[in-house]
Amino acid sequence: MSGSLAQVVAHIGEEVAGPAAEDVDRKARFPSEALEALQAARTLSALVPAELGGWGLALGEVAEATCTLARHCASTAMVFAMHHMQAACLVRHGRSEFLRDVARQLAERQELLASATTELGVGGDLRTSKCAVERRDGRFRLEKQAPVISYGAYADKVLATARRAPDSAPNDQVLVVCPQPGLVLEATSEWDTLGFRGTASPGFVLRAEGDERCILDDPFSDILERTMLPVSHILWSSVWLGLASGAVDRARRYVRAEARKQPGATPPSALRLAELMVVYQQMEAHVTGAARHYDEVWNDPDATTGMGFAIAMNSLKVSASTLVVDIVGRAMVICGIAGYREDSEYSLGRLLRDAHGAAVMVNNDRILANNAQMLLVHKES
């Protein structure tokens, strides 16, 4: 397959992910067929540098592809996005030859990376770990109680946070690539949710062991600040933008069909569509602007470690996750009963349920509380 990442992914969205979306949602099952297609097209190595066998793309291109995919199936796009968040951490913070080999292997085998950053008993705070890495004779061991590992059962490797050593403070964390063999995930709960049902994200007890060089070079606080937080918020927002665009598309088709029924008259819903476009453009400008900005500054520590940058990235997440619900709601008003029905070509039920996941996955209140804290000392706006 050839073409830009967005073209390749658009094709998979139309031909594979879209047609399966309803079944994936109904059965709350992993979108295996779409992932296989994404692997066959070698898209999982989009962020891996070319010299390691990947595409060597900038984040903006992955964000665009994520958005395209989300128009067809938001769960598939979410898996795609979360994989690339982990891949970004690996390729940008795994500088040793050993970790470069891990990235090479990702590209070669199109491995799917998952993430275990949250832990039972820390109240959802990423910057606190209870579990610790134990090192002995060049090997590491780790056991972690993870309340959620998205698509954990389908991942080839899991990147987990843990305290640096058993005597480290709770916020002195590292990020470890937990490899196969040596990784055992024991499911502790089910994943039966309102939306994003295809991400298959139950809780697990994670037990891992491997070469101690699997521990990333930089402290997790740096990885989070410079890469994981901005990349996550940009790619999540891109999923929601694609979801919103799917809703806009239904509203637009509905208004057009209405207009065709009465040639010469503009249907009343057209005004609502015009209003909807105002909000959609706001969202699109914010999300694509943030992705573009990050691509310009990602390699500049001065630009990505300041409070202003963190506040802006947090605001992006809050804004996009709020606007997506607004946009799907507006599309529902436009499509009326046709959008409310589960059996029409304008159905918005799945999109509405998925949209509500945005504000609760990493809760907006937690993010706003972080910004509130930083704004006590931050001076510029």
Partner 1 sequence: MEVQIRQVLAEHARLAVDIGTLGDRDDLYQAGMTSHASVSVMLALEDAFDVEFPERMLRKATFESVAAIKEALSELCSAAVD
Interface positions with partner 1 (CB under 8 A): 127-128, 164, 168-172, 219, 221-222, 225, 302, 305-308, 373-374, 376-380
Residue owning tokens 């990602």: 298
Q: How far apart are CB 301 and partner 1 at their closest, in Å?
A: 8
Q: How far apart are CB 300 and partner 1 at their closest, in Å?
A: 12
Nearer to partner 1, 48 or 310 (CB): 310
Nearer to partner 1, 337 or 377 (CB): 377
Q: How far apart are CB 92 and partner 1 at their closest, in Å?
A: 17
Nearer to partner 1, 186 or 380 (CB): 380
Count CB atoms within 10 A of the CB of residue 141: 15
Nearer to partner 1, 347 or 370 (CB): 370
- Report the C-alpha gap between 216 and 140 in whole angstroms: 12
The residues near 370 (Cβ < 8 Å, ≥ 6 apart) are 310, 314
User: What does the block give as tokens for 371?
Assistant: 């910004």
User: What does the block give as tokens for 52?
Assistant: 């390691």
Nearer to partner 1, 301 or 336 (CB): 301
Nearer to partner 1, 343 or 380 (CB): 380
Q: What are phi and psi of 157, to 5 degrees?
A: -140, 150
> What one-character-per-residue DSSP string does 270-294 give?
HHHHHHHHHHHHHHHHHHHHHHHHH
C-beta separation of 365 from 301 below 8 A = no
Q: How far apart are CB 165 and partner 1 at their closest, in Å?
A: 10
User: Using CA atoms in the order 267, 269, 274, 278, what is the torsion angle rounded to 10 degrees?
Assistant: 180
Q: How far apart are CB 236 and partner 1 at their closest, in Å?
A: 21
C-beta separation of 107 from 278 below 8 A = no
Nearer to partner 1, 288 or 304 (CB): 304
Q: How far apart are CB 173 and partner 1 at their closest, in Å?
A: 10
- Report the C-alpha gap between 353 and 193 in whole angstroms: 9
Q: How far apart are CB 216 and partner 1 at their closest, in Å?
A: 16
Q: How far apart are CB 223 and partner 1 at their closest, in Å?
A: 12
CA distances from 86 to 1, 36, 45, 359 (A): 25, 19, 11, 21
The residues near 338 (Cβ < 8 Å, ≥ 6 apart) are 254, 344, 346, 347
Nearer to partner 1, 157 or 163 (CB): 163
DSSP structure class, residue 52: G
C-beta separation of 308 from 380 below 8 A = yes
Secondary structure (3-state) at 240: helix
Q: What are phi and psi of 330, to 5 degrees?
A: -65, -40
Q: How far apart are CB 256 and partner 1 at their closest, in Å?
A: 48
Nearer to partner 1, 49 or 219 (CB): 219
